[in-house]
Structure 1
């Protein structure tokens, strides 16, 4: 793989992003579905690549298109490696530039929000593993690892799916990465569609104190452009005579990734020393959740030493957004349609079950967990549990465009407690190795116990307490 091929592959990703942006601006269908540009561009690359155009070329006898479509085999090879690298950048920047609350304060303020998030995530494991052991493995002879696909694809999104692909392949689940990416695509599309329907339903039925349905029709939001006020993408924290602020922030992310690699290597060494003869978990845990912990360590040190002022959250979000957009385009461009076709019915069963579970939690459990502003606070978690955090914030912006509810604050602090474990955190990273090493039942039992605890705490403790606190503050 030559340097020029690597450079060309990266340039083509930028061109695809421009094409995707033009389609989003002009396509009413894309606007109504609130499709992210990265997904539009990824599907374009998939169609023009070997999976679609390449097969058409094979049928027509155009051998030049078979290996890599119009992009070539070398570009496809580069794209195939990018997701596993960029996911560590995304997670390393997750908490850099944020204010980290104490666990005691987070639990006190966000008990019902945390219970709701854990209910979404642990339920996806319980539903998925139950379906795997009861139906999918006996009837379709698939791997028990199928049971983790809902949480990896829905709660984790495209980034986590791409990051977990090498682990699944190493453990014998060759189609797992492609199936998880497809699951993430189904999740984000269904999440936006159901979320938009839910926003309009809540407005008509009076289930919200802040809902403004006109936000759905905001042309700026639909087109994905700022026509008037343009918010800043970040602030300079160092003088450019010394070093560019972007360079410094990239270096901080690099340090976080290296700290994560050190943590992972240390855990793997301890495992080899103590219990590797019985079970190996950290041997197969990917780097990105530890890179996230590396970012947390840097932020904690910065808060203690006063150096946190050098870390700008807006700049970190721009780097994180670039890495995530690039990751999604590259991952979808190299998606294997054969994996989906070969496992079509198990995939459909899991996807439908995951969607039904999330809808049940949103419309049945959430009002009982959260008595005040329940829809605003629940729609963000629903969007995240179907796709990515950005989906949840998009739906929340539609439901509460003027930030009149405590939903933004509650969701933000809940992420600090939730993200290290689910949606690409330690639990997600360890789920596949646990299933392989111990079988599906131990993970099923753990997630079932966690699910019961989350539902019980949401119904009988946190929900009622949060209602009292909100009423006292008003």
Structure 2
């Protein structure tokens, strides 16, 4: 494949991003759903590709050959199909760059209930997903047992994680899982926003949402920023490295983080081959993708800068822009190459997985939330609910609606929560390892592990933080 084709594939991504921006600007209902321009752009590319326009042309105007494969050339689609697995490494390498890593004690004091709640929801998604796979998806529809991990990968992990695991799905013989995961991630975002706003209105009528209406929900600028963002920014005093262009310097930091992740990955693969892998003939690390270890590499880089007291040279806003660019490219390329045929062939299982995931998430928020979060459970739980349906930005916008003047610790707690949440589930090490673990040890073993961890966090949250809530209500 020529360099010109690769270059032109990025040109087309830019064009589709502009189209997505224009469509979003002129579609109020899309803005109200807070869908980012990149997701809209990806769906426009999908509509103009072989699975939609190409098939329609074959049915309606079979003699028009240039429309047979849609308007996007096969060579471009081939390049796009490789991009998610590459750019997800950039997204995860930047997660902790530019953010001062606070002490565990401080994180726990501020975000302990949300950490426990988030872990309960995520591990619970494995439990309900694998149970669904064992009793319905595999015996009735003949799907791979790996389908039990789709809920956590798609709903907590989101589009980025789903696309980034495409290679792992392929290696483990469940290629259709990547397309199903992307489709489920879209269902997650839509359900998170629609159900979240409905629940806020219900909570306001019932008296749970006490801070709604502190001022108008969003200014135009805030609406645009939240709809286009995937996280939150931290203001800090930043100095520029004078001997190198700031963008090049920060890209170099991301590259170092990814390189460290690669070294760790290869070291783990080698260690496994020399020890327990050769003893048991069970291998996991060759199937674990690079991106969660790139995140570890980013933490190492940040700790190194903190240790030398030169952290002020890392501009978190610039790191955020690099991450946003990588995620935009990832989403357009992943959605543009999504196979609708796979979803159509598995439509009933797809709907069942979606329904089970939504029921679990709503149950966890409305039933477990008030029993596990001792203070401002509604506002803080909304953030966890939004993140559990596929996007950090969904959690942010729901908290913004429910608490526009930041009268609760929801936003700060949500931010601190990520430090003890994202390294493990929601696209972290556990999410990346779940597929090879199910493949090597079977779904029942992973179900028992997930159930034990879910019960642990559930009991701890109900007893410890639930007890704090009762003490506050009695005092």
Asked whether the equivalents of residues 84 and 163 of structure 1 are also in contact (C-alpha less than 8 Å), the reply is yes
Taking the aligned partners of 1:183 and 1:225, their CA distance within structure 2 comes to 22
Unaligned runs of 5+ in 1: none
**What corresponds to 1:39 in structure 2?**
39
**What corresponds to 1:13 in structure 2?**
13
Taking the aligned partners of 1:235 and 1:19, their CA distance within structure 2 comes to 36
Q: Are the structure 2 counterparts of residues 9 and 291 from structure 1 closer, same or farther at C-alpha, using a change threshold of 3 Å?
A: same
Q: Are the structure 2 counterparts of residues 81 and 213 from structure 1 closer, same or farther at C-alpha, using a change threshold of 3 Å?
A: farther
1:452 matched to 2:418: no
**What corresponds to 1:177 in structure 2?**
178
1:117 matched to 2:118: yes
Unaligned runs of 5+ in 2: 228-232
Which deviations, in whole Å up to 9, do the C-alpha atoms of 1:418-474 show, x marking residues without a partner? 1011011111011110111110011111111111111111111024337768999xx
Which deviations, in whole Å up to 9, do the C-alpha atoms of 1:229-280 show, x marking residues without a partner? xx9999863255x222111111100100000000000000001011224211
Which deviations, in whole Å up to 9, do the C-alpha atoms of 1:289-347 show, x marking residues without a partner? 00000000111111111121111111111111111111111100000011101111111
2:65 paired residue among 60, 63, 66: 63
Taking the aligned partners of 2:91 and 2:472, their CA distance within structure 1 comes to 35
Q: Secondary structure at the match of 1:414?
A: helix
1:300 matched to 2:303: yes
Q: Secondary structure at the match of 2:128?
A: helix
Taking the aligned partners of 1:297 and 1:364, their CA distance within structure 2 comes to 38
Superposed displacement of residue 105, structure 1: 3.1
**What corresponds to 2:331 in structure 1?**
328
Superposed displacement of residue 216, structure 1: 4.4
Which deviations, in whole Å up to 9, do the C-alpha atoms of 1:55-98 show, x marking residues without a partner? 1233322333334x212111111111110000000000000111
Asked whether the equivalents of residues 19 and 41 of structure 1 are also in contact (C-alpha less than 8 Å), the reply is yes
Correspondences of 1:254-273 after superposition (within 5 Å): 254-273=255-274
Higher mean C-alpha displacement, 213-222 vs 13-22: 213-222
Higher mean C-alpha displacement, 455-464 vs 93-102: 455-464
Q: Are the structure 2 counterparts of residues 225 and 145 from structure 1 closer, same or farther at C-alpha, using a change threshold of 3 Å?
A: closer
Taking the aligned partners of 1:304 and 1:471, their CA distance within structure 2 comes to 45
1:347 matched to 2:374: no
**What corresponds to 1:286 in structure 2?**
289
Higher mean C-alpha displacement, 271-280 vs 324-333: 271-280
Q: Secondary structure at the match of 2:408?
A: coil
**What corresponds to 1:194 in structure 2?**
195
Higher mean C-alpha displacement, 131-140 vs 212-221: 212-221
Taking the aligned partners of 2:336 and 2:58, their CA distance within structure 1 comes to 18
Provide the aligned length of Structure 1 versus Structure 2. Answer: 466
1:356 paired residue among 356, 359, 362: 359
Asked whether the equivalents of residues 372 and 467 of structure 1 are also in contact (C-alpha less than 8 Å), the reply is no
Which deviations, in whole Å up to 9, do the C-alpha atoms of 1:101-128 show, x marking residues without a partner? 2223323332211111011101110000
Which deviations, in whole Å up to 9, do the C-alpha atoms of 1:388-441 show, x marking residues without a partner? 112111211222222221111111111000101101111101111011111001
Taking the aligned partners of 2:421 and 2:375, their CA distance within structure 1 comes to 21
Q: Are the structure 2 counterparts of residues 470 and 87 from structure 1 closer, same or farther at C-alpha, using a change threshold of 3 Å?
A: farther
Taking the aligned partners of 2:111 and 2:219, their CA distance within structure 1 comes to 31
Asked whether the equivalents of residues 86 and 323 of structure 1 are also in contact (C-alpha less than 8 Å), the reply is yes
Q: Secondary structure at the match of 2:210?
A: coil
Q: Are the structure 2 counterparts of residues 281 and 232 from structure 1 closer, same or farther at C-alpha, using a change threshold of 3 Å?
A: closer
Q: Using structure 1 for the length normalisation, give the TM-score.
A: 0.94
Superposed displacement of residue 224, structure 1: 5.4
